[in-house]
């Protein structure tokens, strides 16, 4: 933990090997929630980093921000935004961006991230992340917003794919193509939420492995894990990404695929927003994630050895 | 195209039950009233109604809980 904190870099982390070669290391952590604080702080030997919701601190009292700085001194922190609405043809809200920049400067996190979503329109706050129409205009708007976010904060945000219950109208791209266009034409790396991917794949009938194979592997730098549940009745059912349930097995299988296709140096965060189980249960899920990623890494190693032998 | 108008239109029917009801009863009229383009009108006429219903139910619950927004 101490080594990790000392050599933490902007995205992911590295450890210094005995021969002084810098080796990237996968890091595993939890979303910081007040209900989990004691459990997290009591188990820092099993948690490499925590992800903090940036928006919770935009208007927080000075004491809360001091507490966050204290937390960041104990464990590497990433900042995660939920209300910028970067994936929009409308210009990102400058005030929120300025607040993000101030918090980033104050906390000096490993990285920061936001969603590929719009959250307001015509002066109406949706109150949740909404998938925008996947068309050229939202790609263009998103790229402009990402460039502005990069300029204001000083570091490009990682961008996260979102879960959606509704297939956004006027979508001329499938989700994978739309995400790839944004990643390839921006400085932003991908924070791939595997439960969001799992949910969308079930809801709209596509292959999540195909989605992963289409992402530029070197640009996947972060992973989110979570759980959800089926909503609706009869044939009218879809998976809701509610962060209230344990990580399901298919999501671990997707994480193994990520391990087989990417280089080490990922940050993997388990998100839980309610119906909190014991900290041991969350740590077990984190261990399960470590195993899944390691299995994927092992597959990659075996495959590359096979290629060398051939 | 005027996707910002479409985003505003979607935001309204996502959060405002009356606006959504009016839209579902006469999509073309409501889309025209919102100033959407021909392509956008055609797109919202074919909106994913199952998804719209499930999303708005989920959204309503979330807003009632003062939405934690931790996604």
Chain segment A236-268, per-residue pLDDT in tens: 899 999 999 999 999 999 999 999 999 999 999
> Residues A68-91: what's their mean pLDDT?
97
Confirm or reject contact between B18 and chain A (CB < 8 A).
no
Gap from A208 CA to chain B (nearest CA, Å): 20
How far separated are the first and last CA of chain A, in Å rounded? 40
Of A189 and A10, the one with more pLDDT: A189
Taking the CA atoms of residue A163, residue A242, residue A207 and residue A233 in that order, the dihedral angle to the nearest 10 degrees is: -110
Mean pLDDT of chain A: 93
Question: Taking 80 as the threshold, does the pLDDT of residue A55 lie above it?
Answer: yes
The tokens 């904060």 sit on which residue?
A: A153
Whether the CB of A134 is below 8 Å from some CB of chain B: the reply is no
Instruction: Tell me the residue length of chain A.
Output: 310
How does strand A158-160 pair with strand A112-115? parallel
Dist. CA A1–CA A27, nearest whole Å: 10
Do the Cβ atoms of B7 and A170 come within 8 Å? no
Q: Which of B9, B50, B59 sits opposite A236 (nearest CB)?
A: B50
Predicted local confidence at residue A16, as pLDDT: 45
Residue A58: per-residue pLDDT: 95
Q: Which helix (H) or strand (E) holds A1?
A: none
Q: Is B60 on the interface with A (CB under 8 A)?
A: no
Q: How many CA atoms lie within 13 A of A38 on its CB side?
A: 3
Phi, psi of A6 (to 5 degrees): -70, -35
Give the three-state DSSP class for A35.
Answer: helix
Contacts of B55 in chain A (CB under 8 A): 130, 164-166
- Site from B2, B3, B65 to mutate, A interface, most A CB atoms within 10 angstroms: B3
A190 DSSP β-pair partners: A159, A220
Query: Rounded to whole angstroms, how far apart are CA atoms A23 and B66?
Result: 44
Give the residue from A88, A89, A90, A171 showing the smallest Cα distance to A134.
A171
Stated pTM of the model = 0.92
In this prediction, residue A307 carries a pLDDT of: 77
Q: What is the pLDDT of residues B18-53, one digit of tens each?
A: 999 999 999 999 999 999 999 999 999 999 999 999
Contacts for A12 with CB less than 8 Å, ≥ 6 apart: A24, A25, A26, A27, A110, A111, A221, A265, A266, A267
User: With 0-12 CB in 10 A as exposed, 13-18 as middle and 19+ as buried, what is A205?
Assistant: exposed
Q: How many A×B Cβ pairs under 8 Å? A: 129
Report the pLDDT averaged over residues A14-42.
Answer: 81
Q: Which DSSP category does A123 fall into?
A: T
Residue A199 class from Cβ within 10 Å (0-12 exposed, 13-18 middle, 19+ buried)?
Answer: buried
Residue-level pLDDT at A26: 97
The reply to whether residue A129 touches residue B68, judged by beta carbons under 8 angstroms, is: no
Radius of gyration of chain B (CA): 13
Confidence of residue B66 (pLDDT cuts 50, 70, 90): low
The ipTM, to two decimals, is 0.92
């Amino acid at each position: 933990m101490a080594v990790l904190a000392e050599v933490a870099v902007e995205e992911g982390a590295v450890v210094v090997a005995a021969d002084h070669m810098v080796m990237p290391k996968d890091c595993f952590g939890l979303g910081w929630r007040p209900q989990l604080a004691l459990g997290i702080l009591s188990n820092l030997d099993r948690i490499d980093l925590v992800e903090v919701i940036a928006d919770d601190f935009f208007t927080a009292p000075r004491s809360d921000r001091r507490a966050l700085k204290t937390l960041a001194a104990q464990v590497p922190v990433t900042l995660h935004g939920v209300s910028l609405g970067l994936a929009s043809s409308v210009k990102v809200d400058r005030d929120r961006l300025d607040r993000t920049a101030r918090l980033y400067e104050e906390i000096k996190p490993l990285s920061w991230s936001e969603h590929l979503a719009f959250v307001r329109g015509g002066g109406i706050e949706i109150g949740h992340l909404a998938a925008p129409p996947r068309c050229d205009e939202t790609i263009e708007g998103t790229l402009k917003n990402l460039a502005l976010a990069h300029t204001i904060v000083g570091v490009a945000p990682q961008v996260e794919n979102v879960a959606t219950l509704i297939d956004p109208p006027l979508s001329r791209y499938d989700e994978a193509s739309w995400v790839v266009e944004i990643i390839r034409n921006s400085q932003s790396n991908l924070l791939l939420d595997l439960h969001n991917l799992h949910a969308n794949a079930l809801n709209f009938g596509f292959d999540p492995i195909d989605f992963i194979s289409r992402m530029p592997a070197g640009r996947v730098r972060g992973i989110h894990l979570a759980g959800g549940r089926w909503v609706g009745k009869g044939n009218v059912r879809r998976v809701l990404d509610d962060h209230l349930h344990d990580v399901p097995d298919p999501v671990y299988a997707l994480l193994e695929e990520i391990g087989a296709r990417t280089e080490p140096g990922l940050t993997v965060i388990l998100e839980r927003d309610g119906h909190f189980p014991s900290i041991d249960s969350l740590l077990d899920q984190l261990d399960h994630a470590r195993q899944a990623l390691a299995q994927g890494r092992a597959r990659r190693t075996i495959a590359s050895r096979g290629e060398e032998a051939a | 195209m005027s996707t910002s108008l479409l985003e505003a239109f979607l935001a309204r029917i996502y959060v405002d039950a009356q606006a959504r009801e009016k839209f579902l009863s006469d999509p073309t009229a409501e889309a025209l009233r919102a100033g959407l383009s021909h392509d956008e009108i055609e797109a919202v006429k074919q909106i994913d109604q199952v998804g719209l219903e499930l999303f708005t139910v989920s959204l309503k619950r979330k807003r009632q809980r003062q939405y934690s927004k931790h996604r």
